[in-house]
Structure 1
Amino acid sequence: MQHDADVIVVGGGNAGFSAAHAAAERGRSVIVLERGEGPTAGGNSFFTAGATRIAHEGLAQLQEFVEPDDRHAVSTVPTYSEQEYLADLERVTEGRNDPELSAVLVAEAQPTLRWLAGLGLRYRLMYERQAYARPDGTYLFWGGLHVGNVGGGEGLVADHTAVAARLGEDVRYGHRALELVVEDGAVVGVVAEHAGERVTLRAESVVLAAGGFEASAELRAEHLGERWAAAKVRGTAFNVGDMITAGLAVGAAKGGDWSTCHSVQWDAFHPRNEGNLELTNRLTRQSYPLGILVNTDGRRFLDEGADFRNYTYAKYGKVILEQPGSLAFQVFDAATRPLLRAEEYEMPGVSELCAGTLEELAALMEVPAEQLRRTVEDFNASIVEAPLDPTVKDGRRSETTPPKSNWASAIAQAPFYAYPVTCGITFTFGGLKGDTEGRVLDAQGAPITGLLVCGEMLGGLFSTNYPGGSGLAAGAVLGRRAGTIA
């Protein structure tokens, strides 16, 4: 049978390229079909900060494959064991994570990053996102998430693309895959659209790595709920579920939780707050554990300090979507404002409100001034005094309703700041059902010959929430596995 390649990978993001590299290393000829072109290539991977969660034994082990940095000599990086990784995954998904996929992820995340680093991807310690500078000039890392790509998502995609060129992978841009070709019960190819023409390409194996359905307002409304049609799409506009639909059409079973997703607090009023290729991840607002969140009624509605940001940020977008007008405000004062992430709160065009009094701030926010004042006063009066320490769950709580469990600081010192946030959707948790080797399974649990899946298309690892950085790790691990047998 005439094949265009041994392996076709659909999707040129982190997972797809990981699969392509693994196959190419084995001597397989590989075609990568990527819908984007130029700056729109790379899927959601381009829009990430590049943070990747791995188990490790501390700084000395990480220095074996991350880029050198003079700050390493004055840095403390706590160990993060496989047991802690698995416990975090089980805790934040409320036990709905697939145990077999989870075991593979936590065991192979670090070896997979070492493999990618050996191929040419560059990693570093994420000082600006995962460490606090201490008064003595040293750095302390926190939250179990310490490693990221040099250059963030843009650097990640650029490095993958360079590896693909060196390994001889045939990356074809501007190809929108639409259908799978099936003969005698096996998947033997892909039908794609390119420059207005339909193209059929054949291969022994097809690896699906084309992302979820978060960019389709219709599918969001159908599976997540009607309000989700209004969510802002943080990343690529191309993840509309084409290949999930194609997989289901050839008998693949649904996998994972189709009713929840990764969603964050996102700049509500920035004029280009969807698919922004220049600012990418900087439109998130992730210093919320240091302040309070209020809705348009001027009331708090969640525990901003329930856990480290890494374990809450991916679920709080949904909570904001459920507020009146799908809008909320992060509120800080002059004492807490300097602690916010500069890359997010001092970015070009940031939506920022500032006033000398709470009443003036409420007017800018267009919320009831008396209610905002009562909310702040009640919060301030209920704080249990303890040392503020953002590197640990410090127990400095406010015993109001809802409580704030950690990092409670009074909103008392003028000027006061508010940052309007809405729901930014990142990726959907539901996809196709696959096994730990990446093989797509049918309704009876049998593999569909010739069809594999990885990345955000593979359902089962996450539900309701996820530990920050585990998405890129899962894409690389399961992508490598799929490419190894493709």
Structure 2
Amino acid sequence: MKNISVAIIGGGHAGMTAAISARLQGAQVTVFEAAPKGLRGGNSSLTKNIRFPYSDSVELFYYLGQAERKDPELVRRAAPYTKEQYLRDWLGISGDGVDEALVSSIISDGDKAMRWLRRIGHQWTPTSSCLEGALPLDLHGGGAAMQHHNFTIAEKLGIEFRYATKIETLRRSAAGWTVARGRTSRRFNAVVIASGGFQANQQEISRALGSSWEGVRLRGVRYNDGTVSRSVHAIGAAKAGNWTGCHAVPYAYDAPPYRLPGQIAEAQAATRYMYPLGVMVNRNGQRFVDERSAVGNLTYAKLGRSILEQPGKWALQVFAGNEIGKLHEGYRKDSTVVHGDSLEDLEASFGLPRYSLTRAFADAIQESASLKHWGLSYGSTMPPFLGLKVACGLTFTFGGLQVDRQANILDEDGQKIPGLFAAGEAVGGIFSENYPGGAGLLAGTVLGLRAGFGCNTVL
């Protein structure tokens, strides 16, 4: 039996999927994680759900935990979400810079990847979201529980972990590859790059996205700075995707500069995705987006950039009447929240031009009626009113390594680099201008599985 050694650089969900997959096939696996053990998990630990194709509610029922299976009505109302519809959604909003063949192959294997996750013990629960188009299932316990389960499985399988170990360079060696940090190095037959994007590197962000992004809050962890990917590019790996693109969302104005992996409750409380229930204006009282142009999980990931482009780099979300009761607790506890009995009260509190909010609601209601958008009606302007400031939250960058459909990293001539794979946010060409909510975890799972399998074929 071949004794293959594999290095996984990055302990997010994609990396852990690759590690478990490679280990189950007999490889000796070491995971290098930049964070200390107490802060392991990466951005994956802060997520909530995964977008996947399914044929009917019976299939959804399979993914539920035992407690949720007692009430099949919880998922009976979910409409099918076919692979064809998934692909249309993904390509329809992502722009021209995506690798269509790679995206199509990810969706094609989405059901297989989901069944693999279920077989190793992951569970889901019906969503609690009230928004139109919400994904029908959430991860049971969110991303934190998902990652805890991944690490538990990996430890039982005997996978080695090297925490607080930021790999800095990667170079070819006689055995395959040498990964190094300073003067310390180790050799492996195969390596999987799963170290995320470069969003935590302020210099790189300013260079790629522009100086306006300086100081933007990170929705996730501070460890994804692109160091490993730069080392791989230096030895000839090709770049892919939109290097000026990113996942950036409406986010709490009073949020800290970054999150820690254990802060899933705080991370979810800081999301400001309820904008389809109201209006969003800049400090001049002007709407700058159509809040209901599509369901929220197909628009939210591009709105952070739109907010950043507004005067002062902030916006105002305003809600009225019964819609206020639908807002999650993070909204109500926000330090910038203002309540009012009239829109004029909110205009005065936030220094907006008089009647600007009245005009914003009137325009939004007219759009909803003429374009048959779901959402606002004339009843949506009944008091009371609630307004709060929102900012841009940067999640991850879209540019990355070029891979083929088997997760092999390619060189600038389009040839695979033997023994070198990538998965997760380190891969470019998956998203370009926008992002369908939950798609990143599916891409990470599929490419992680392929990378783990590929590692066992290098000898």
Check whether TM > 0.5.
Answer: yes
Aligned residue number for residue 429 of structure 1: 398
Are the aligned partners of 1:9 and 1:20 in contact in 2 as well (CA < 8 Å)? yes
Deviation at residue 430 of structure 1 after TM alignment? 0.4
Aligned residue number for residue 170 of structure 2: 180
SS in 2 for 1:364: helix
Deviation at residue 323 of structure 1 after TM alignment? 0.5
User: How do 1:378-417 residues align onto structure 2 when only pairs under 5 Å count?
Assistant: 378-379=363-364, 382=366, 395-396=371-372, 405-410=373-378, 411-417=380-386
Cα distance change on mapping 1:71 and 1:293 into 2, 3 Å: farther
Q: CA RMSD in A?
A: 2.1
Are the aligned partners of 2:50 and 2:442 in contact in 1 as well (CA < 8 Å)? yes
Distance 1:88 1:368 in 2: 38
Distance 2:409 2:122 in 1: 28
Point out the more displaced range, 142-151 or 444-453: 142-151
Question: Which of 52, 57, 60 matches 2:58?
Answer: 60
Q: 2:191 aligned with 1:191, yes or no?
A: no
Are the aligned partners of 2:281 and 2:287 in contact in 1 as well (CA < 8 Å)? yes
Distance 1:76 1:452 in 2: 40
Question: Which of 445, 449, 458 matches 2:418?
Answer: 449
Cα distance change on mapping 1:383 and 1:25 into 2, 3 Å: closer
TM norm structure 2? 0.92
Cα distance change on mapping 1:144 and 1:366 into 2, 3 Å: closer
Question: Which of 407, 418, 442 matches 2:387?
Answer: 418
Aligned residue number for residue 73 of structure 2: 73
Distance 1:349 1:311 in 2: 25
Q: Which amino acid aligns with 2:65?
A: E
Q: 2:135 aligned with 1:145, yes or no?
A: yes
User: How do 1:132-171 residues align onto structure 2 when only pairs under 5 Å count?
Assistant: 143=133, 145-171=135-161
Q: 2:258 aligned with 1:290, yes or no?
A: no
- Deviations for 1:251-272, whole angstroms, at most 9, x for unmatched residues? 11101111111110000124x3
Distance 2:388 2:334 in 1: 12
Are the aligned partners of 2:252 and 2:334 in contact in 1 as well (CA < 8 Å)? no
Gaps of 5+ in 1: 133-141, 387-394, 397-404
Are the aligned partners of 2:284 and 2:352 in contact in 1 as well (CA < 8 Å)? yes
Deviation beyond 4 Å, 4+ runs, structure 1 = 377-380, 383-386
Cα distance change on mapping 1:88 and 1:336 into 2, 3 Å: same
SS in 1 for 2:72: helix
The alignment-based identity, stated in percent, is 34
User: How do 1:223-372 residues align onto structure 2 when only pairs under 5 Å count?
Assistant: 223-270=208-255, 272=256, 274-275=258-259, 277-278=262-263, 279-340=266-327, 342-346=328-332, 348-349=333-334, 351-372=336-357
Are the aligned partners of 1:306 and 1:406 in contact in 2 as well (CA < 8 Å)? no
TM norm structure 1? 0.87
Are the aligned partners of 1:92 and 1:466 in contact in 2 as well (CA < 8 Å)? yes
Q: 2:34 aligned with 1:35, yes or no?
A: yes
SS in 2 for 1:258: coil
SS in 2 for 1:175: coil
Distance 2:30 2:38 in 1: 20
Aligned residue number for residue 8 of structure 1: 7
Aligned residue number for residue 18 of structure 2: 19
How many pairs were matched up? 446
Distance 2:303 2:96 in 1: 19
Deviation at residue 415 of structure 1 after TM alignment? 2.0
More helix by share: 2
Deviation at residue 343 of structure 1 after TM alignment? 4.8
SS in 1 for 2:168: strand
Question: Which of 463, 468, 475 matches 2:432?
Answer: 463
